[in-house]
Structure 1
Amino acid sequence: MTDPTVYVQIADPKGNPTALYETREAGSVGWAGYLVTASVSLPATIGLTDSLSGPYNGAYIFCVDRPAILDTDPAGFAEQLSAYIKSSITANRAFFWLQSSTAPYFGTFANYGFQFGQSFNNYVVNTNMNAVLGANLIFNVQSSLVMTVDEANAQLLLSYPLTTNPLINLQTGKTIIVAATNVRMGVPVAGQSTGCAVFNASLSTATVFAGAPKGLQLGLQYAYYDGAQDQTLFFPVFALGAMPATLAAQLVVDPSDPINIVVGGAALAAGYLRSGMLLSGAPALPSAYVNQQGNALTLTPVGANVDNVTPPARAGGFAFASLSPLASTAASRNLYLTPTGTSQVATASVAAGAQIGLLGGLFGSEAVVFPSYSSSAEQNCLLCFVPSQAAYAPTFPFAPASLQQSGSGTLQPRLTDAYQTAWATLLPSGGAPTVYQAQPEGSPLYGVTAAQQNDVPPILGSTPPFLPFTGSTAAPFPLIAYSLTPTTSASAKTLTDYESQIVAPTRKQIISSQASATNLARSAVRKARHLGAKDASLQYSTSPQGFLVTSDPATGAYLNVLLGQSSNGAGGYLPFSFAQPVSDALESALQTNQLFLVAVNPVNLGTFNSTSEIAGWTFSAQVGHGVSPSSYANVLILKFCSGSLVERVTNPNQWTAPQDFSLAPDTAESTASIAYAGLAQWLQAYLADAIAKAQPAQPSARFYENFATLVQDPNWNGVLVLNADLSVSDLPPEIAGLAAGIDFSRFAAHHFGFTVSRVLADPTATPPLHMDGESSFFGLIDYEQPAYQQNIDNNVDPNVPVAVPVSGDFQFTVLLLQALFENTRLADFESRVQLSVATLFGSTVTQTVSNAVPGVSDGAKMPGNAVVLVGSYVAQSGDDSSAGSYVFQQTQTTVFQLNSNVLQAVAFDHVQFNTLSSDADTTVSRFIVWGDLDFVTLDATDGTGFDVLSFGSAAGTPALQLGAGLSFSNFTITLSSPNATPNVQTFAVSTSNLNYDLSSSTARENGLFKGFGLQLKSFITAGPNEMPANYGFLPVTSPLNLTTLSYPWQGVVYRVTMGGPGALASAAGFDSDLLLAWASSGTAGSTQTPVFVGLSLPGASPGAKLFSLQGVFKVAVGSISLIRQQIAGSERYGYCLRLDDIAVKILGIAKLPPDATIQFFLFGDPDNTGSLGWYAAWVANDSATQFTAKLAAPESRLLPVSGDRP
């Protein structure tokens, strides 16, 4: 038998007794005091009966908390109490609750207490107490109630013999919604409900839960600040229309804590409620909670009983809570009812005792799994609600973070207690554990279960990740019911976002913190286990996207997560995966329902295989590389959640575990907010820029269109890498030569990622699941040289070159490189590359003109001396749809004007760029040029025309119309660059395979080519210390004002057909070679021309003036000259090649003629028919007798020149 409860005298710190007493029963919640007001001897203790009927004339005082002043100045507090009582009542005694355990202690007496006094043998309440619990609820204790003492249960009783008079009630407006059964109420002075008014009542569900203004709302209320004002979201928890008409309940009311906020978290966690309605009789209540199959769950509150003096801890029912902000006064706040305590959980669709998956929130891939209620079980798992938990999102929606907004990147508490509601937890039954299942939205896992191993075809069953945890009322979590219509003006999207961004992450974090034993076991497995290629004991699962998860079946530890794969080009595959060991932080993130992971820190990614091959291009997510406070690269995003990428990136509070993944390594805690804001700002700008570029009017719209759609699609889920670094080795071998012209500090993949992979199942194999082929990768490379990008932004023609520094004769620059990848194929490709030309054929380029029609219309001056080539990709049809070739070629003529008085311009009509070879050290590429050599028209010293160069624009052609001339092909410029330093460029020019195209050439009418029936033969580019004589050419004099050739020089070689020498000639034709060479030393405007005219005689040794006829006759030649003379009696001119001092020797002895010399004349048809004629003359040595005999040439000696003539 326990000792009776007594009031114990309170002494001051010095040990002096006071008139103030209190009960001190261990385990009590709440405070009960007693003040002696009579002038009597003060005992050490006062019994409960004596406190009412003894000589003390005492006042009863209650409060949820013991006033701290009792430890410092109890006597002073007694004086304050006495003064309050004297000012509040007449000659009666007082029964009241303190307004607060701290000053100010007292409220209006009628709202917190009543007077009572003795009437005959009874103690009767003389005044009404109208305790204002809230603006919409009053607790009435009315006069005429009789007060007695219940010693056995340590409580004071208030009752009335006539049960029809509702003297104890709850009132909303003018409506009494609850009245005490039998007009009886107890106020314990000890125990877990100390200071609470406790009474039984029968609740009319239609009345009590009628909602404002006549009743109280029942459910869960959350709130958020939208930047302007608070907005509320009210979620019904029970289907009121299907509830029993009446509910037996035991009510507790504490006027000093009407909404259960003062009692404290520890007491609430222990299940001690101060104000609420606790249901008796275990009524089955249809709830708005559902299982994963969508079936409604029935909650049966348990624990309370009308026969109990006070309700037990965690009794199920409803707690009073405030619809208004917590800081509101009692008179201004509106109350509602929220679930509290424990309830059994069942549904008709699940057998008793079988596992039931309580849907967590809105998304079907998150649930809490536990055994459903079974009447035969010794102990059942109970759903337990804990009231007075945080329900206010101080920031929602999250405003975009930026470096300009101080603190905008700070990780905010998602929920605070500015508003409050009830959270929940699962109390284990002692049997099967409570399991939390959370999978990324839209990416649940399936595998071959034991029951399906023999299915043909195989049918995969659900194999979700599992996290056993021990639920605790000390760590409840938010759990909203969504199957009934919420009361709110918010849109469906707002509700979804609130759950996704606020509630679900909070729930995940709290539950994960209760799984320490599971996490330790998983860590041990990952450390001890070495994942083999094949292990039948492991669990293999896949998602609809084709992700493959290998896990430990006992603990659920993730050992390997294969997100996708690509071909390695050698018949195998490159995994894009998180390999063993998978970190605890990553595993937790991957088991998050609303997964939005932004990773710039590789530490918690573990072993991350991130290299992929897409259509010959190499991509990799080098997370952590290139990260700075203002710029980011290699940003990995895993999105499996509601909302679009554009919405999610705006604020780190919307990301999964940002503290683990979204801070660069070694970021100081003091700068974390700035770092988060910087990353969020960069992401916002990055996506906004891409969306802007996708607009139809933008030049790159087709490359960005898909990405812009993706990032704005709330339904898209997948893996994405932004701004991924690219290196020299990442280019396909076919275009490896582009590396020489790329600034690799700016070369990156704008993005790449993938969504789905094909998975095949074979239950008889190990592993039973494997990826089949490549994943569906997508991506974009968009490289633009800054000056070129500015041109494009300013609507400059994309084929206009940019001025770049040129250190040698040439400079190669990649202006644009755009490659779009879809379904692991190169879907679109566009490039512009530029060959800058500083020097051609030894002469400096002075100006570049594009798109001229030579001699007809002007071209446009270019800002840089360069030619732009357009790159494209030509896909090839066939079984291998990935086959194709890259083509880089010029699309419009570019004319380079030179500082030369010989070669005034060179036109590049067509240029091709190819990569020849690329090994470990060097890459070699080649430009092949088709074009025209535009030579000037030369004049003789007398001012008459002497156009030996023949090809080119007409004299007087405007500079912007130059470009006609001698058409050539196979002019090659070879580019070599070391792979280690690709921008170190080495060029080599070759004319060894130069070919001519007469059909495309422009030969001037009065030129030597047409006038002398020449045929194009070859081209010479001389080496150092080489002269024409080294090539076998004798100098030919002319009336031109020429200067000596100097290195570098080059020349065009023509064939001159001199006819047939008859039977004495060798089998070879009697042809000579004519060289027209020039040097670069002659600058524009110079009067002396560095041109050389040379002739190589047939059958002669190189440079010799003696040639042989069948070894019998030898012909010696003196001087050679080229002249142009006017035809007598005509305005026409003709060219003539004259060989002087010709002598013939027979067997090296006789000279013919013996006393004379011969002159040989080879002349062209003045009508430019291509025919040649010749004649010879001899001159006698006798000065007195000199005559000339014309040798008439027979028709066989008038030789037509083969070949076309322009």
Structure 2
Amino acid sequence: MAFFNATLNDQLYVAETTDTDQGFAAFLLPQPPSNQLEGYDISQALTDSTLNGSFILSAYTPDLETKEKTDEFVKEALKLLGTGRYIIWILDITDFSYIENTIFMTIAGDGSSIIKGVPIPLVHNISLQIQSGMKLTATDDSISLGIKDGSAKILFVGPDAPDSNITYAIEGNIPLTGKYRGDINFSSFIERGSLSNDFNWGFQMLIPLENNPNQTAKSEYFPFASGQFPSTTDQIGFDIFIDPTDVFNQAFNRIDSHSIIEQYNSRRTVFNFTGTNKDQSETVLNAFYFTTLGSTIQLIPVGNNNNGSLQARLTFTNGELYSANAHQKHFAPEGDFIVTIDGASSDTAIPLQCGLQGTEFFNVQPRVNGNMGDRLRFITNQPAYAPVYPLPISSPVTAPVDPNASLLNTNYQTSWCTITPGDQNNTPSYVAQPKGSALFSNTQIAASTLLEHSTPNFTFESNDAVLFPMLPYAAIQPDDGNEGFSKTEIENFEKLFVSQIRKQNINSILIDAQIKAKQEYLKSTDAASDIGNNVTTPSGLIANLLGSNNNPIWNAIYLAQNQKTSQSSFEKMYFEDPVEDLVQAFQTSDLFLVVTNNEKLGTTDVDATGAKFHNKMFIGDWTMEANTGTENKYNDYNNIIIVKGKKGKLYDPNDIENSLVTNWQKWTAKDTFAAPSTLDNNGTLLPPDDAQLVIVSQWIQSYFEDAYNQTDTAYFGNFNTIAQDENWTGILVLRMDISGLPDNLTGILSGVRDPAGFRAHHLGINITPVEKGSNGPEINNPSSMFGLIYYNDPDFIQQESPQPIQPNLSETYDFVLLNLKVLFENTAVKSFQSYAQLTTNNYFGTPVDHMGTGGNKYNTMILKGSLQFKGNEALYSLNTDGVNTFYFDNPAINKIEISNVNFSTLQNDPSGNIISNFSINGYWDFKELMIPASDDDPATDFDILSFGNVEGADVSNKGLIFNNLLINMVSPPYVPGQTEQLPKTMTFVTSQITFDQGRSTPRSNSIYVNFALNLQGLTQGSSDSPPSQNGYLTVITDLKVSPIDGSSWVGLTYKLNMGTPGELAGNVGLTSTLLIAWNPTATNDGSAPAVLMGITLPGTGGGAKLISLQTVLKLSIGQIRLTYDTNKSSFLLMFTEIALKFLGLLKIPPNGSSLFYLFGNPKSNGKASGLGWYAMYNKDSK
């Protein structure tokens, strides 16, 4: 069967390509053959001088699908080849136009030898030379290179080439089948020192370099292994394959493939380790990886007898252009390298450090005592270039950044790795803990009070898909110039790029392992009784782990705890049964976790099953809850959780670029946790949107900037100090929902006009001391917490003497919370400030006309909050501070002077409504009514309203003192985080009003003083229930009045003691009730005042003028009149036409009637005194 088969052009014959072949191999005739054959085998093609054909080799396959394309290919190839015989390698199979695209190796006419050698460029300063005179021999599937005259060799040449006296080969092969089709294959030995010094074995990482036309990037070289030890002259054996057309293995590069094996098998230029040195000793590399204890490790390249492993090898990677036509070069490892370590004598795993921090490592089994040893498996052609460095701060004025863009790309490439087990019974495990926050648990020393480092780990079961970058740092040499990375750049590159990608990729494996381990654990008999083992970090963060230390089940991650009293149990804020993504996030070595969605936090329903987030925490009587990711809107976020476990300033106004909050690319698991869930215009919660990561970062930056610019340093100082403390570690929740207030203040929620802004500015959790307990570390005291509630109504301007804002003008009564400031430090309330306003436009049905001195046009009073401590109990109150006076345009009322308003919240509403009362105390200043002057008489007092200032005066603290006048306020239950203002109903309530007669100030000539009245209370009625329906008889007065019937009315009732009628009434006193009532809606329009004086007589009912005496006798009364004797300064209450009726028929005496006069003490000097009375009988004239 022919090897090279005919094509659509009879001069071109092409090797068949199967699934196992890579590359292109063809045999081209300079002239059409005289006898057309179906094809040629390799021997005929090589040795038949009559054919005079050439071999065309390339990693790339031309398009020969049509005759036209095939003819064109032949035409261009013949132009290049002429009449000579060659083996040529075409770098660009589609372009034969320039000689530099082709590597020519001239062969003899009979194909027996190479008659003109060829230098094959590899990397800068290193080429491969196949010397003239090498013998060519055809095999079934290759062309072999061998000795002909004893001097021709295959060797490396160039300034950086290894010593040709050591590395040369005298035989080789050009395979024409398989994955290495067209390669030059030979075996060689290369000195260890040359691999390090000339080939630069190791890794590269690169960042942009601007303003330097001679250098395309800035790189750092990470040496793979020592070039000195064990010996710099060790000659390490290699089986080498070189494809002159694909030196950097790009032709079949499967970087997008999920298969590690596919990527490995795609390489065409490789230096495969044979596993032995020239002296037949085993090849051992003193690698520059190290353990967490600082010991370096050795790596043993897996050689030819790999037993299913991937043969270790080195491949070329192209670096940056650093001068004209000169690129940096590196020799990157690929395949399996067995881990071992000097002095290892047991099967104990060693902690192989992953990067620069000792809290992230793999527990790997070294090769010892027959154990095969775990392997580092490297794959080349992985991303090595950070296109954006330094990472820009998030800013609305900078160019947008694609949040889905990879941190590293393949503009330049290097090796990544994974860990594979050497023995399936010993699986590697992975440990990652925050830097500076390693986990600690109980020591094995029984009597010790110390905690020792604990390393709960997770089984790392590698697969054929996941790789991660892991660089060796033991030999790194920082460069403060432009040749390499500075120390800071090395640290930043590892922190910002390498470790983040490594952690993210490893997590994808560990999450599956955790799920599997949890399923197995729950099936075990120990699951029901296992209380777990506690571990802690120096920041006081405690986690409870179930099961063994290998693949533990994270039962809980505790964030904070507190107790209501010293005797009560602790209430905790924690993640219960956390999902695997959250567990892995908390184990990140450079932990800076920003959480804006709740996808991985668990439900807040504590009665649900599965992962839960117990999201509430309290300080004192204030309760906050982190409802993360439920009410976010675009660029308006809340309940953001920040977990800081790394060194650095959260926000530094003097160095914003290096602030942790300014760039989302520095955040832990940002795609999983920091991408916010937001509400759309219909209120539907959308899935996390990583396109908003930049916006979130800008929002947080602005949040810290706003706090920094606050002038209220008493409240923001601690927050700003922590923000700029690079050593602070802990937890912050920004704009946290407030779910519970002190009982007496709950009602202020009804006055919150900006519910979206009514949140805690922050809640922080500081370092909390831990103690050793029987089950590991535990916290026996409340967590050290701090926080701030800082609410201001959008219209409120903070000033020394707070002024009210415009209330709801459509309401008679209104309440607004102006501000609320609560500063928490050391898990206690340090300071408290609050202002609110109560608007009252009506009292007792009378509209307020205006306020007095110090008042405002809104008829609004300012209430000030205060905090006092009674022992350990905090007592909050909200009261007016000073006097507020309200004037009325009413003929009966002058003003009401409010001396105090006390706010309180009721706690016993079964429906959960918020019910509050404003208890108002003050002075009720009534007008002094007078009988107008006439032509003959001056104006005369007729003071039936009794209390307040004398006519023409306006003195404070005058009038009827009242207490517990209420304005009742009712709102529906408050839902933490709600954005709509609570509706409220406010009602003027007089049913609980009381009066302090002893301290009130009645006027001296008032009826209250003159008649020694005893105030009974307040009464009211509507137009449908006039006083007469309540049994009051109208008293005719000397004062001209307007009627109050047909209108609402308000009145004060007094007890009037009229003495006793004697034994006929069974010694029952004649006590009447006097009513002084007025129309609250009347105005001072010049008409007679709308007031009324009414009386109810003992023994009467329904307004009758009959007093019952022993049921058979009734005392009848005609007219009741009130007059004022100006000479004696005394009121007279006159009852006329008094007569006695027997059984309602007989009038006694039949021919007359009596008058009854009730009068006050004219010598009382304005003080209450006893009443006097006299009677007069008038006999009817005949």
| SS at 1:553 equivalent | coil
Give 3-state SS (helix, strand or coil) of 1:1022's partner: strand
Q: Distance in 1 between matches of 2:18 and 2:1158?
A: 144
- Deviation of 1:103 after TM superposition, in Å, equals 1.3
Does residue 189 in structure 1 map to residue 174 in structure 2? yes
Residue of structure 2 equivalent to 1:737: 747
Rounded to whole Å, the distance in 2 between the matches of 1:118 and 1:564 is 82
Match of 1:1091 in 2: 1091
Q: 1:240, CA displacement in angstroms?
A: 6.3
**Shift in Å, 1:446:** 3.9
Long gaps (5+) in structure 1: 1-6, 853-857, 1109-1113, 1128-1133, 1184-1206
Q: 1:885 Cα shift?
A: 1.5
The one-letter amino acid paired with 2:173 is P
Partner SS for 2:806:
coil
Matched, 1:790 2:776: no
Quote the Cα distance in structure 2 between the aligned partners of 1:388 and 1:1140: 118
**C-alpha distance in 2, partners of 1:674/1:457?**
45
Q: 1:220 aligns with which of 181, 203, 218?
A: 203
Question: Given residue 842 of structure 1, which amino acid in structure 2 is its aligned partner?
Answer: G
CA distance in 2, matches of 1:220, 1:1051: 96
Deviations 1:949-984, CA, capped at 9 Å, x for gaps: 5655676789xx988654443333344556499745
CA 1:1087 to 1:383, structure 2 compared with 1: closer, same or farther past 3 Å?
Answer: same
Query: Quick one: which amino acid aligns to residue 246 of structure 2?
Result: D
Correspondence 1:174-573 to 2 at 5 A: 179=164, 181=166, 183-184=168-169, 187-190=172-175, 194-196=182-184, 198=186, 200=188, 203=191, 205=193, 219-224=202-207, 232-237=218-223, 244-246=231-233, 248-249=235-236, 250=238, 253-265=242-254, 269-270=264-265, 272=267, 274=269, 281=277, 286-293=286-293, 295-300=294-299, 302-303=301-302, 318-324=314-320, 331=325, 333-347=327-341, 351=345, 353-374=347-368, 376-377=369-370, 379-395=372-388, 408=401, 410-431=403-424, 432-448=426-442, 451=444, 454-457=446-449, 459-470=451-462, 475-483=466-474, 484-487=476-479, 495-496=490-491, 498-514=493-509, 518=513, 521-522=516-517, 524-525=519-520, 528=523, 534-535=529-530, 541-544=535-538, 545-553=540-548, 556=551, 558=553, 560-564=555-559, 566=561, 571-573=568-570
The one of 60, 72, 80 aligned to 1:84: 80
1:141 paired with 2:144, answer no
CA offsets 1:381-406 (integer angstroms, 9 cap, x no match): 23233222112334556667799999
C-alpha offsets along residues 869-915 of structure 1, whole Å, 9 cap, x if unaligned? 2223333444xxxx212111112332233342322322222111122
Task: After superposing the two structures, state which structure 1 stretch, 866-875 or 390-399, moved more.
Answer: 390-399
Q: What letter corresponds to residue 368 of structure 1 in structure 2?
A: F
CA distance in 2, matches of 1:525, 1:71: 60
Residues of 1 paired with 2:346 and 2:521: CA distance? Answer: 36
How far off its partner does 1:477 sit? 1.6
CA distance in 2, matches of 1:1074, 1:227: 98
Q: Percent identity?
A: 20
Q: Secondary structure at the match of 1:334?
A: strand
The superposition leaves residues 462-491 of structure 1 with CA deviations (integer Å, 9 ceiling, x where unpaired) of 13231321365x643211234534447777
Cα distance change, pair 576–1091 in 1 and its aligned pair in 2 (3 A): same
Q: Are 2:677 and 2:688, in contact at CA under 8 Å, matched by a contact in 1?
A: no
The answer as to 2:595 corresponding to 1:598 is yes
Query: Is residue 3–residue 42 contact of structure 2 (8 Å, CA) maintained in 1?
Result: no
- Where 2:330 maps in the other structure, the secondary structure is strand
Contact 1:203 1:248 in 2 (8 A): yes
Within 5 Å, which residues of 2 pair with 1:1083-1122?
Answer: 1083-1092=1083-1092, 1121-1122=1122-1123
TM superposition shift of 1:369 = 1.9
5+ long unaligned stretches in structure 2 = 255-260, 603-609, 652-659, 976-981, 1109-1114
Instruction: Select 1:656's aligned residue among 655, 660, 669.
Output: 669
Match of 2:905 among 915, 927, 948: 915
Relative distance call for 1:350 and 1:801 in structure 2 (3 A) is farther
CA 666–811 in structure 1, closer or farther in 2 if over 3 Å, else same: closer
SS in 1 for 2:689: helix
Q: What is the letter of the counterpart of residue 630 of structure 2?
A: H
Q: Equivalent residues in 2 for 1:801-840 (5 A)?
A: 801-805=805-809, 807=811, 809-840=812-843
**Match for 1:901: what amino acid?**
P
Residue 931 of structure 1 pairs with residue 931 of structure 2? no
Report if aligned partners of 2:530, 2:547 keep a CA contact under 8 Å in 1: no
2:611 is aligned with 1:612 = no
Equivalent residue number for residue 1186 of structure 1: none
Offset of 1:370 from its aligned partner? 0.8
Distance 1:564 1:184, change over 3 A: closer
How far did 1:459 drift? 4.0
- State TM-score, norm by structure 1: 0.75
- State which of 660, 673, 681 in structure 1 corresponds to 2:695: 681
Instruction: Tell me the alpha carbon deviations over residues 595-638 of structure 1, each in whole angstroms, 9 at most, x when there is no partner.
Output: 53525244773431424241344444445533556655555555
* Secondary structure of residue in 2 paired with 1:387: strand
Post-superposition shift, 1:760?
5.5
- Are residues 1:996 and 2:1002 paired? no
> For the Cα contact (< 8 Å) 1:271–1:315, is it kept in 2?
no
Contact 1:124–1:146 (CA under 8 A) maintained in structure 2:
yes
- Taking the aligned partners of 2:2 and 2:371, their CA distance within structure 1 comes to 42
2:804 is aligned to 800
Determine the C-alpha separation between the residues in 2 that align with 1:423 and 1:618.
Answer: 48
Change (3 A) 1:71 1:64: farther
What's 1:887 paired with?
877
Q: Indicate the SS of the match to 1:269.
A: helix
Asked whether 1:868 is paired with 2:862, we answer: yes
**1:733–1:918: structure 2 CA closer, same or farther, 3 Å change rule?**
farther
What corresponds to 1:625 in structure 2? 630
With over 3 angstroms needed to count, the CA separation of the structure-2 counterparts of 1:157 and 1:642, relative to structure 1, is farther
CA contact (8 A) 1:446 1:464 kept: no
User: What CA distance in whole angstroms lies between the structure 2 residues aligned with 1:621 and 1:302?
Assistant: 52
- CA-atom RMSD, angstroms? 5.8
Within 2, Cα distance between the matches of 1:514 and 1:1161?
Answer: 103
- How many residue pairs get aligned? The number is 1106
1:1111 equivalent in structure 2: none
Aligned to 1:941: 932
Give the Cα separation in 2 of the matches to 1:38 and 1:330: 42
Please state if 1:898 is matched with 2:885.
Answer: no
Alignment CA distance shift 1:151-1:24 (3 Å): farther
2:258 aligns to what?
Answer: none
Question: Are the structure 2 counterparts of residues 227 and 1054 from structure 1 closer, same or farther at C-alpha, using a change threshold of 3 Å?
Answer: farther
User: How far apart in 2 are the matches of 1:185 and 1:818?
Assistant: 87
Deviations 1:997-1039 (A, max 9, x none): 877x7778x8749996978855433355363996989837344
Deviation at 1:154, TM superposition (A): 5.5
Contact 1:1042 1:1090 in 2 (8 A): yes
User: Structure 2-normalised TM-score?
Assistant: 0.77
Letter in 2 for 1:188: N
Q: Distance in 2 between matches of 1:297 and 1:543?
A: 28
* TM-aligned CA deviation for residue 755 of structure 1: 5.3
The 2-side partners of 1:578 and 1:498 are apart by: 32
Partner of 2:844: 841
Instruction: Using the TM superposition, give the Cα deviation of residue 790 of structure 1 relative to its aligned residue in structure 2, in angstroms.
Output: 2.1
Q: How far, CA to CA, are the matches of 1:349 and 1:542 in structure 2?
A: 33
Q: Distance in 1 between matches of 2:1154 and 2:580?
A: 110
Secondary structure at the aligned position of 2:901 is classed as: strand
Whole-Å separation in 1 of the counterparts to 2:167 and 2:928 = 128
Letter paired with 1:897: Y
Distance 1:155 1:1075, change over 3 A: same
- Assess, with a 3 A threshold, how the Cα gap between structure 1 residues 115 and 1002 changes in structure 2: closer, same or farther: farther
